[in-house]
Structure 1
Amino acid sequence: MSAQPIEPNPPDPFGVMSDNRLAVRTMIDRLGLPAPTIVARPEAVHITLADVDDLGRWMHALGGEVRRGIEISGASLWTLHTQTPVRADGSTVQIRAHVPVVSGEDVLAELRPVGDREPTPAPSAVTL
């Protein structure tokens, strides 16, 4: 009698979503980050924020890249692409933190996508 290798079952999407939700919820509680709405998916956990300043707190805590969606009806959706810190098993969970931003609202320069940032003016020469 010979043993045949058994292929592992594919990951259960509901188990992956539950694991992702737990990992992100634990991180949110540890870091004290705002998260009014959490939607877990197998590929990422989506957080919907209420204020652009909350997005700044997420960016400061986890880093990442902010992307701005197209403007529709005077507002656009800004999304921080980040991830949890590395877990004990070496994995991370992708996080997408979303916030609507009304056109013309003040936004920290660090949150603005690279193409949207104002160039830093060169120091001017002072003549006496």
Structure 2
Amino acid sequence: MPHDTRTTATPLQPTLLLAAVAATLWAAWLGWDQHRDIHPDGSSTGPYEAWQVIGLVLTLLPPLLWATTRHHPTAAVLGIPLGLTAAAYYDWSDDASGLFVVGVTMLLLGSLATTAALSALITAVRRR
């Protein structure tokens, strides 16, 4: 008889799995790029390029879709922002100004709102 993980998995398991996936994807897309680009006028940008952030977002969509369609929308809404926030905190915590906390908070709130909206959309589309 096939094993149905929906009935035996605790809500914590898919949440932690998604957090680990999100943190791993952060490391793969953003974790290796740590330098800022200095332009001729003295301004700087970075450390991330737009294509890296877009790649991260696009590769987070399949895990979000997987969790939401497997009746774990809460795990998706909590796990992905948790993983991204932990990775960003680790990645940015060497900032001497302390402003990294503002960025981490903004990332947490933005990813929480985005995953909640997408999870609700996926759930609504599936019900039709």
TM-score for both structures, normalised by structure 2: 0.27
Structure with more of its chain in strand, by fraction: 1
Bigger Cα Rg: 1
TM-score for both structures, normalised by structure 1: 0.27
